[in-house]
Structure 1
């Protein structure tokens, strides 16, 4: 990689870091081109060169953190031996990510992210296919073995992650009536009841 490419990559990372800081302080209403260039010290021209617009920057920021979250979920299930322990690992990894990366988690669970997901859901899923495939393959293997109920994969995904996302959103909203460590202990067994195959 040339020095110019290295500088370009460093600028991209710097802008993404600055955008997350601005978002954490002001929300998406305050996330403007001028706020990001001021926080980063990067020129307006560089921001437009690398991202095209503030929306391009925001989408790149969403993709960056979604990829990290999915990567941690994949890593979590790879070390498990049963569907039940895999669900426990998924729940634990998701909620640990939310606690460790609160600002990024707020962005991932924000109205902005929801709007992008509704507008470009297929494109977002296609872009993360490399990360999503191992999770789908993990679940499908347990459907095939009879440990998970024979449900369509989108329903299994919703039944496993839906409650976790709901709890994460509640915690991130600042209501302070949910304990994520307690949730990590309680949710896996409750989720298992909804997706585990019925005993014969």
Structure 2
């Protein structure tokens, strides 16, 4: 990597980190061009050079943290030997991510992220293909062995992640009427029953 490329990466990272800090502090309305350039010390021209627009910056930020979350989930599930252990690992990793990175978690669960990600679904599906493939590599042998129900993999993903995403959205919205530790104890078994070949 040339010194110029390195400087470019450093600048892009600074803009992304600044945008996340502003989003964490003030929400989407706090992430303005003037706020980002002032807080980061990066010029307006550099912001547009790297991201094209403020929307481009927020989209890149959302994709960065979505990719990191998916990476943590894949690492967690692929390190396990049994189906129930895999589901427990996913729930623990997801809740751990939300607790450790609340600002990023709030962004990737926001209406903004939903709207932008839905609009770019085919492109993002391709970008996240390695994570999907890793999950398939974990799930397919368990389907073939009779441990997992013979369901389409997208449906398995929905049954696994749906309850955890719902929990995260509720907690991030400030409706903290569910104890996260209790949820981590209860959800894995309930989720496993929904995908197990033998739910009893």
* TM-score normalised to structure 2 length: 0.96
Residue by residue over 1:170-196, the C-alpha shift from the partner in whole angstroms, topping out at 9 and shown as x without a partner, is 111112211111111110000011100
For these two proteins, the number of residue pairs brought into alignment is: 200
Question: Where does structure 2 lack aligned partners over 5 or more consecutive residues?
Answer: none
Partner of 1:183: 183
Partner of 2:89: 89
1:20-169 maps to which residues of 2 (within 5 A)?
20-169=20-169
Residue by residue over 1:84-141, the C-alpha shift from the partner in whole angstroms, topping out at 9 and shown as x without a partner, is 1100101110110110000000001000111012211221121121222101221222
Task: Tell me, in whole angstroms, the C-alpha distance in 1 between the residues paired with 2:19 and 2:36.
Answer: 6
Task: Tell me, in whole angstroms, the C-alpha distance in 2 between the residues paired with 1:168 and 1:150.
Answer: 28
* TM-score normalised to structure 1 length: 0.96
Alpha-carbon deviation of 1:81? Answer: 0.5
Deviation above 6 Å: which 4+ runs of structure 1?
none
Task: Tell me, in whole angstroms, the C-alpha distance in 2 between the residues paired with 1:197 and 1:55.
Answer: 44
1:2-21 maps to which residues of 2 (within 5 A)?
2-21=2-21
- Could you tell me whether the CA contact under 8 Å between 2:65 and 2:108 is conserved in 1? yes
Secondary structure of 1:137's partner? Answer: helix
Question: Where does structure 1 lack aligned partners over 5 or more consecutive residues?
Answer: none
